[in-house]
Amino acid sequence: MKEEQTLRFTSLGILLTLLPILIFYRIVSLQLDPEIREPILDSLIQNQNENRKIVPVRGEIVDRKGQLMASNQRSYEVGIDLNRLVSPHEVALALNLILGREVRDLEEDIAWAQEKGYNYLVADDFVSQEQIDKLDEWIKKTEASNDPKEAISLRGIRYSKHLKRSYPNQKLAANIMGFVGWEDKKEEQSGIHGVEGYYNDMLAGKVYRIKLPRIPDAAQDINLVPEGASLVLTLDREIQAMTEDVLDHNLKRNGSDSGTIIIMDPLTGEILAMATTPRLDPNRYWEFLDEYPKGVSFNQAISQPYEPGSVFKPLTVAAALDSGSITSDFNYVDQGVLEYAGAYIYNWNRGAWGPQDLLGCLQHSLNVCLATLSTKHMGNDVFYDYMKRFGIGHKTGIDMEGEISGFLKTPNEGYWHESDLATNAFGQGLTTTPLQMAMAISALANEGQMMVPHIVKSYAQLGYQTDIDQRIAGVPVRSETARMLTDLLTQSLVQEASDALVPGYSVAGKTGTAQFATESGYHPYLTNASFVGYGPVDHPRFLVYIWFEKPQSSPWGSEVAAPVFSELVQKLVVLMDIPPDDIRMKLLGQ
Amino acid sequence: MNRQNQINQAYQKTPWRSQTQLLVPFTLLLIVVGVVAVFFLNVSASAASKGREIQDMQATIFALELENAAFQDDLGNLTSLDVLSKRADRLGFVEGSLDETDFLVVQGYSGPQSPRLASKERPEITPEPELPSEYTESILSWLMRKFDEFSYSFYKVQP
C-alpha cells in the first residue's frame, strides 16, 4: 500500500515538474522564433495603431491688393454608424428632409451596407453649417423625448467637419481661378483649370498617411503638416470686376456670341484683368457641363484660337521695318487688289486707296498694303522668322492650366500654301489666342521686349514669401522699331478720330475685323471684331486686348470694339491712379 | 560544565532567529519590488496621462486649423466685392468718374504695396538635437530591444 502510494506521488511529481518545463519551453520557443513571433507582433501593432490621412489646408489665393479670392469653408460629411442604427426608416426620413436625399435610396443603401457588414455609410458630403445645425437640433429634440422609442429613433447619425474650397467673390474672375473638384481616378479633390489647376500641387500641399498609436502611453508627437502654399495674384479685383462689367454690358449691346478682354502690364507681363464669357460660379463647379457644353472653352483668352484679322497688321509692319525690308518712308500706290500665288487680295471695302505710306496702311487697315509688304519686300524667310519671334503659333507660357498654342503654318509644312504669305500678313489663315496677340503687341509697347504673361506674383510657403521672377519671352524687334510702330499706331487713331481715343490720354491702338472662319470657308457676314491698344504711349502702364465673337450690331472692330477700349480705359486710369498726360507731365516735373 | 552549556545555549541559533534571518531579506526584497512597482506604475500612469493630453492637443490643433481656415473664409465673404459694393451703395457712395477725379502727389506714397502673406526673409532652420535612443526609450522598450537582439542572435547561430 505504502509503495503504491509512493509510486503515485512520484508519478504526479514527475508530471507536475514536466508540465511547467514543457510550458516554459513552448513560451521561450514562441518568443524566440521570428517566424512565429513576427505575424503575431504585426497583427498586434496593426491593432495598436490607427491609420490616419492628414490632408493639409489648401493654400489661399489673394489678389495683388491682398483681397481674398479663394479660401476654405467649413463643410460636413454626414454618415450613419450602422452598429448604432436602430431605425433606418426614421433616419432616412430625417436625412431626406434635411439633405434632400431620397428616402428609398437611403434605405436601400443602408440595407446594402448592412448586408456587406460595413460599420459606416456616407450619406452625404459638403453639407452646410445651416443644415448641420438643423440636423443637430432635430437629433437633440428626439433624444430628449419621453417616448423611449422616439428617443433612439435617430441614433446612428454622425457628422464630421472638414474643409471645402470657397470662392467669396463667386463668379468674379472664375475663368482665371478655375475650381477644385473631383477628377477621375484621383483620391483627393484637385484643382481643375486656371490657377487652381496650374498650381494644384503647391496649393494642395502634401497628403500624409501616418499611424497613430491607440494606446495613450505610446502617443507620439506628430510633426505639423505644412499648409499648402498661398498665392498672390497679379490680378486686381476691382479692375477685374470693372472689366467684367464692361464686357457684359457691351455683349448685350452688340449681341456678340462671346467676348474676351485682357488687361496686362506690357512692361512686366502681369495680367491685371482677364474677363471672358461664359463664367461659372466655382462654388458650384458641378454645373460645369451646363455652362460649358462641348466646344466651349473655360477661358477663351488662353484656349480659344481664332483668326485675329487686322490687329495683326502692326506685327507685319514691325517685321518689315525691323528687318530692313522697308524704311520708315515707305510708300506705294494702292490699286485695291493684289494677285499672289493664285489668290486675290482685296481691301476691306474692295476700294483702291491710291498713294499710301505706312501711316495710311495702318490707319485705313489696307490688306493689299500688308500683303505687298510680306510678299514683295520680306518673303517667306523673313516674315515667318519674325512671326516666330513674336511667339505666333506657340504658347505664351502663362501660368494657367489650359493654354493652347494657336496655329501658324510655315513653308516647311505640307499644308502651307504660297498664298498664305499674303493672307497671314493681315491676320488671316492663321489662328492665335487673344493672349498670344496681347503678348506679341506688348513688344511694341515695351521697347521691343516681350515679357511672359503671368498671373501669380508671389507665393508664401513654409512661412516664407517668394516673388516670382518676371521672364523675358523674347526681343522680336529693336527698340527704335517698337517706338516707330507706337508713333504710327498713335497717329492712326488720332487722324482717324477713332472711337478708341481717350480724352486727355495718349493711346496707341489698332482695330481688327476678321471674317469668321467656318469648316466650309469664311462666313459671308459674321466677323470677329477686335481692338488692341496701350497707353500712355510715353510710359505704357496698360495694354488692353478686346475681342467680340460674331457681333450683331455691326461687323466692324472700329464700331464694336474700339468704343469699348475708350470706355474701359476711362475707368481703368481711375483705378490705376494714372493722371491725364498734361497733369502727369506737370507732376513729373515737380 | 553547566555554565558552559548555558553559554553554548545562549549563542546557539534559536529557530525563530533563523526564521527571522530568512524573513528580513525576503521582506526587504518585497519592499524593493514594491517600490519599483510603485515607481513603474507612477511613471507609466503619468506617461499615459501625458499621452492622452498629446492626443487631445493634436485633435485641438487639427480642429483649430479648420476653424482658422474657416474664419479666413468668413472674412473673405464679409469683404467680398459684392458685399462691399452693397454696403457702399447703402452708405450713399457712388463710383467716381475720370472727370470727378483730382490727382495729387503725396510725398512718400508709392501706391499700394504687394500684400505680405509671410516673411520675405527665409527662416533659419535650427537642426533639432539628436538624442541617442538610450536617452529616449523606456525601460520596457529597452528590455524589448535587448530581447529582440538576443532572439535574433540566438537564431543566427543555429546551424
Which value, to the nearest 10 degrees, does the dihedral of the CA atoms of residues B128, B132, B135, B139 take? 130
What CATH number does residue A439 fall under? 3.40.710.10
The type of residue at A236 is D
- Please report the ipTM that was assigned to this predicted complex: 0.75
In a domain, A572, yes or no: yes
A74 and A42 belong to one structural domain: no
- Considering the domain architecture, whether residues A119 and A17 belong to the same structural domain is answered as no
- pLDDT at position A221: 66
* Domains of chain B: total: 1
Tell me: do A441 and A570 sit in the same domain: yes
Cβ <8 Å between B51 and A74: no
User: If residue A545 lies in a helix (H) or strand (E), which one and from where to where?
Assistant: strand A542-549
Classify residue A145: in a domain, yes or no.
Answer: yes
**Per the CB < 8 Å rule, is B155 touching A32?**
yes
List the 153-172 stretch of A: residues with Cβ below 8 A of B: 161-163, 166, 168-170, 172
Residue B102 lies inside a defined structural domain of this protein: no
User: Is the model's pLDDT at A185 over the cut of 60?
Assistant: no
pLDDT class of A585 with cuts at 50, 70, 90: confident
Q: What is the mean pLDDT of chain A?
A: 90
Name which of B128, B143, B87, B99 is nearest A221 in CA terms. B128
The enclosing H or E element of A43 equals helix A34-48
Three-state SS string over A349-409 comes to CCCCCEEEEHHHHHHCCCHHHHHHHHHHHHHHHHHHHHHHHCCCCCCCCCCCECCCCCECC
| Higher local confidence (pLDDT), A525 or B83 | B83
Is residue A404 scored above 90 in pLDDT? yes
Indicate if the pLDDT at residue A560 is higher than 80. yes
A461 touching chain B per CB within 8 A: yes
Interface test with B, best of A574, A576, A586, A587 (most B CBs within 10 A): A574
Pairwise CA distance, residues A129 & A127, whole Å: 7
Q: What average pLDDT does range A164-187 have in this prediction? A: 86
Segment B19-52, tens digit of pLDDT: 788 888 899 999 999 999 999 889 888 888 888 8
Of A570, A566, A434, which Cα lies nearest the Cα of A512? A434
Question: Nearest Cβ partner of B72 from A68, A573, A579?
Answer: A68
Is there a cis peptide before residue A293, judged by omega within 30 degrees of 0? no
Give yes or no: residues A27 and A119 share one domain: no
List for chain B the helix, strand, coil content (%; round to 5).
65, 0, 35
Entry field: residues in chain B? 159
Q: Of all helices (H) and strands (E), which one includes residue A195?
A: helix A194-198
Which of A509, A398, A385, A373 lies closest to A444 in space, CA to CA? A509
Residue B143 lies in a domain: no
For residue A205, tell me if it sits in a domain.
no
The pLDDT score that the predictor gives to residue B159 is 46
How many residues would you count in chain A?
590
A353, three cell numbers: 486707296
Determine the pLDDT at residue A254: 93
Q: Please report residues of B whose CB lies closer than 8 A to that of A172.
A: 81
In-domain check, residue A359: yes
pLDDT at A3 over 60: yes
Is B114 close to A573, i.e. CB distance below 8 A?
no
Q: Looking at the structure, do residues A85 and A118 belong to the same domain, yes or no?
A: yes
Q: Domain check: are A106 and A9 in the same one?
A: no
Chain-chain contact of B70 with A163 (C-beta, under 8 angstroms): yes
pLDDT higher at A455 or B140? A455
* pLDDT tier, A486 (very low <50, low <70, confident <90, very high otherwise): very high
* Chains A & B: contacts with CB separation below 8 Å: 140
**Cross-chain CB nearest to B98 (options A54, A60, A570):** A570
Residue A79 resides in a domain: yes
Residue B141 lies in a domain: no
- Mean pLDDT along residues A440-465: 94
Instruction: Assign residue A301 a region (left: φ > 0; alpha: ψ between -120 and 50; beta: otherwise).
Output: alpha
Chain A: residue whose CA lies nearest to B105: A587
Indicate whether A170 pLDDT > 60.
yes
DSSP state of A560: H
From chain A, pick out residues whose CB is under 8 angstroms from the CB of B112: 64-65
A39 and A91, same domain (yes or no): no
Q: Is residue A229 part of a domain?
A: no
Positive or negative torsion for Cα A73, A74, A79, A83:
positive
Shortest Cα distance from A225 to chain B (angstroms)? 10
Q: Are residues A82 and A132 both part of a single domain?
A: yes
A107 close to A92: Cβ distance less than 8 angstroms: yes
Q: Of A117, A136, A166, which residue constitutes the final position of a domain?
A: A166
Q: What's the average model confidence in pLDDT over A301-325? A: 94
pLDDT band at residue A184 under the 50/70/90 scheme: low
Residue A516 maps to a domain? yes
Secondary structure of residue B7 in the 3-state scheme = helix
Q: In terms of domains, do A245 and A345 share one?
A: yes
Contact call for residues A506 and A493 (beta carbons, < 8 A): no
Segment A372-382 shows an average pLDDT of: 94
Q: Looking at the domain assignment, is residue B6 inside a domain?
A: no
For residue range A36-53, what is the model confidence (pLDDT) as tens digits?
778 877 777 767 777 777
Considering only CB atoms, A216 lies closest to which of B51, B80, B151, namely: B51
Q: How far is B116 from chain A (nearest CA, A)?
A: 7
pLDDT at position B129 is 66
Q: Whole domain around residue B34: which residue ranges?
A: 15-94
CA distance A367 to A230: 48
- pLDDT tens, position by position, B92-128: 998 888 888 888 888 888 778 888 888 777 666 666 6
Cis peptide upstream of residue A278 (ω within 30 degrees of 0): yes
Which pLDDT score, from 0 to 100, does residue B61 have? 86
Q: Which of A251-265, A413-427, A573-587, B39-53 has the highest mean predicted lDDT (pLDDT)? A: A251-265
- Give the Cβ contact number of residue B105 at 10 Å: 11
Give the pLDDT score at B70: 84
- Distance between B38 CA and the closest CA of chain A, angstroms: 17
Same structural domain, A40 and A122: no
CB burial readout A388-416, b (16+ within 10 A) else e: ebbbbbbebebbbbbbebbebbbeeeeeb
Are A413 and A529 members of one domain? yes
Q: Which of B63, B73, B96 sits opposite A168 (nearest CB)?
A: B73
Contact criterion met (CB below 8 Å) for A545 and A308: no
How many CB atoms sit inside 10 A of residue A359's CB? 16
Distance from C-alpha of A456 to C-alpha of A364, rounded to nearest angstrom: 39
Give the pLDDT of residue A226.
80
What confidence tens digit (pLDDT) does each residue in A96-110 have?
988 888 889 999 999
Q: Is residue A195 part of a domain?
A: no
The percent of residues in chain A predicted with pLDDT above 90, rounded, is 59
pLDDT tier for residue B138 given thresholds of 50, 70 and 90: confident
**Which of these ranges, A301-305, A428-432, B50-54, has the smallest mean pLDDT?**
B50-54
pLDDT of residue B139 exceeding 80, the answer is no
The verdict on residue B155 lying in a domain is no
**Are A160 and A192 within 8 A, CB to CB?**
no
Q: Which of residues 476-515 of A touch B (CB under 8 A)?
A: 503-504
Range of the domain at A520: 237-589
Instruction: Identify whether B99 is part of a domain.
Output: no
Write the DSSP symbol of residue A294: T
Does any domain span residue B51? yes
Contact: A31, B151; criterion CB under 8 Å = yes
Taking only the tens place, the pLDDT of each residue in A511-538 is 998 888 777 778 888 889 999 999 999 9
- Is-contact A494 A510, C-beta < 8 A? no
| Statement to judge: residues A253 and A370 lie in one domain | yes
Q: Does A230 touch chain B (CB under 8 A)?
A: yes
pLDDT, residue A479, reads 96
The average confidence (pLDDT) of chain B is 82
Selecting from B70, B79, B155 the residue whose C-beta is nearest the C-beta of A67 gives: B79
Q: Which of A137, A166, A195 is the last residue of a domain?
A: A166
Measuring CA to CA, which residue among A174, A171, A203, A426 is closest to residue A301? Answer: A174
B70·A217 Cβ contact <8 A:
no
Domain count, chain A: 3
Buried-exposed string A568-587: b where 16+ CB fall within 10 A, e elsewhere? bbbbbbbbbebbbbebbeee
Tell if the CB–CB gap between A64 and B115 is shorter than 8 Å.
Answer: yes
In chain B, which residue's Cα lies nearest the Cα of A63? B115
Contacts of A461 in chain B (CB under 8 A): 118
Mutation to test the B interface, candidates A71, A177, A215, A587, most B Cβ within 10 Å: A71
Q: Using CB atoms, which residue from A68, A461, A465 is nearest to B76?
A: A68
- Whole-number Å distance between alpha carbons of A70 and A61: 5
Q: What are phi and psi of A44, to 5 degrees?
A: -65, -45
Looking at the domain assignment, is residue B1 inside a domain? no
Q: Which three cell numbers stand for residue A387?
A: 512671326
